[in-house]
């Protein structure tokens, strides 16, 4: 569907109980799952205990954990998450994503209409600037 990296590190923001992390673990060298709920992260850790290439962290309401290093993520996945949080938190989360993306890394997220905003439609694919773009 998108031109996404097929190896490297994937980040699932709002990973919930780990369903997406499970299929990502088959395709990426390392997968990081984050969620705002420590109880959900505990359940995800248990659900994915058979996988050896994953790590889970609790994130803040508007930031990613400091354990996720700058420029360490090849692809970030945020599915059906952003409509649940206020716009100013969304903006901060996306800035945090930009911090952890490698040059040329991608983030895929969706926005649903008529939830938490007057109009949020469609899908967006973001590519962080890379040196070859002349933007760095």
Residue 121: pLDDT band with limits 50, 70, 90: very low
Distance CA 12, CA 97 (A): 11
pTM of the predicted model, to two decimals?
0.78
Q: Which of 39-43, 64-68, 113-117 has the lowest mean pLDDT?
A: 113-117
State the pLDDT at residue 133.
54
pLDDT exceeds cutoff 90 at 43: yes
Distance CA 26, CA 135 (A): 33
Kindly state the tokens that stand for 67: 């354990």
pLDDT greater at residue 90 or residue 121: 90
State the pLDDT at residue 119.
43
Edge-first strand listing for the sheet containing 123-127: 54-58, 30-35, 9-13, 73-78, 101-110, 123-127
Q: Which of 61-65, 86-90, 97-101, 120-124 has the lowest mean pLDDT?
A: 120-124
Mean pLDDT across the chain = 83
Residue 33: pLDDT band with limits 50, 70, 90: very high
Provide, rounded to the nearest whole percent, the portion of the chain with pLDDT above 70.
Answer: 79
Pairing label, strands 101-110, 73-78: parallel
Please name which of 2, 99, 30 lies closest in space to residue 12, comparing C-alpha atoms.
Answer: 30
State the pLDDT at residue 136.
43
């Amino acid at each position: 569907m998108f031109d996404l990296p097929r190896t490297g590190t994937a980040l699932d923001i709002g990973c919930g109980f780990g369903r997406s992390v499970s299929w990502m673990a088959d395709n990426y060298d390392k997968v990081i799952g984050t969620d705002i709920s420590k109880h959900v992260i505990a359940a995800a850790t248990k659900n994915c205990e058979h996988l050896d290439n994953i790590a889970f962290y609790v994130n803040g309401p508007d930031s990613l954990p400091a354990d996720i290093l700058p420029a360490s993520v090849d692809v970030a996945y945020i599915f059906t998450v952003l409509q649940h949080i206020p716009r100013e938190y969304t903006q901060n989360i996306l800035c945090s994503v930009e911090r952890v993306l490698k040059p040329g890394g991608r983030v895929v997220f969706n926005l649903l209409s008529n939830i938490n905003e007057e109009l949020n439609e469609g899908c967006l694919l973001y590519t962080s600037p890379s040196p070859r773009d002349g933007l760095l």
